[in-house]
Amino acid sequence: MGLPAGLDPDLLRAFAFIAEEGSFTRAAERIGRTQSAVSMQVQRLEATLGQKVLLRGKGGAVQLTPHGHYLLERSRELLALNDEIWSTFRAPQMHGTVRLGTPDDYALRYLPQVLRRFADSHPAIEVEVLCAPSSELVERLREGDLDLSLVTEGHGPRNWPEVELWRGPLRWITSDRHAPHKLDPLPLALAAQGCAWRRTALRALEGTGRRARIAYTSATLAGTTAPVLAGLAVTVSTIAWLPEGLRPLRPDEGLPQLPDTGILLLKGRTPRQPVTDVLAAHISDTFQQEMRWQDRLSA
């Protein structure tokens, strides 16, 4: 019995673009080929797999079959790995140092994936990571001490180029074994003055007349999380990553709704090139995968 036929990355890429765009025409524009050529690629892919992965509906709308849904998730992973291998062997070897800033809220959730992929493709580049509040990171960018930084929306300087990496809900966070959210006044564990999330939380409580007091203040995630885990206070955070023992409050548990928040990527005034752009691309790719994962969960 012979080995199974390999999957052509070009066919997988065409299929992924069609699925993402919902259109053969728009996918063909992204690839830079004719619509008929893209259609033939899909036919070749389906012939290789022995299954239909796409269906054309009325008006040219495209739908994924069950096999297509299965293939889309895995083709993205395969294409990312394919591109990573290609860049590792074909791209010129880069050396140097890139200085990256991030609030510690995001460091544990996102940096392991970013740094692993970056190290695999650019092993000779040193990454200096500074974990600090967004307000401090913006000042370090202004002073030229950082090449790149993740910051929370609301801290970016005016007229400073930025890329939105992620957008999602800001939620009230409490202990899953205690009920500090039922206390009056409401005890809060928040970041120090100048934090956008702190301003948002206090403004929401003032708008509803809910009495509150700031019981704990810290510049770090660990400092605000510890009293919440102990059942002594409530904090605010995204829910992309929560330590065990914490949970988001439900809308019916008495606290006002909070707006969505965003994570931005900012470049320094004089970033070291080309390593800065390479790391920025890895960061953007990681967050795009995160947003697609969230979309699948909410679908």
Q: How do residues 56-111 score in pLDDT, each as one tens digit?
A: 877 667 889 999 899 988 888 888 788 777 766 665 566 788 999 999 888 888 88
Question: Is 186 in contact with 210 (CB distance < 8 Å)?
Answer: yes
| Domains contained in the chain, CATH given | 9-90 (1.10.10.10), 96-159+269-298 (3.40.190.10), 171-258 (3.40.190.10)
Positive or negative CA dihedral for 285, 289, 294, 298? Answer: positive
- DSSP, collapsed to helix, strand or coil, labels residue 212 as strand
Per-residue pLDDT, 59: 67
- DSSP, collapsed to helix, strand or coil, labels residue 128 as strand
Per-residue pLDDT, 2: 43
The span from the CA of 104 to the CA of 130, in Å, is 9
With CA atoms as reference, report the closest residue to 54 among 32, 24, 77, 80. Answer: 24
Structure tokens at 231: 């059942």
Per-residue pLDDT, 143: 92
Question: Mean pLDDT, to the nearest integer, of 8-22?
Answer: 88
Q: Which residues contact 125 (CB under 8 A, 6 or more apart)?
A: 94, 95, 96, 97, 98, 118, 275, 278, 279
The answer to pTM > 0.85 is no
- Say yes or no to pLDDT of 4 above 90: no
The span from the CA of 263 to the CA of 270, in Å, is 22
Question: Is 263 in contact with 165 (CB distance < 8 Å)?
Answer: yes
Side chain identity at residue 19, one-letter code: A
Q: Which residues contact 239 (CB under 8 A, 6 or more apart)?
A: 168, 169, 171, 173, 248
Q: pLDDT: is 171 or 62 the higher one? A: 171
Of 52-61, 151-160, 166-175, the least confident: 52-61
Question: Mean pLDDT, to the nearest integer, of 190-218?
Answer: 94
Per-residue pLDDT, 184: 95
Structure tokens at 68: 């297509």
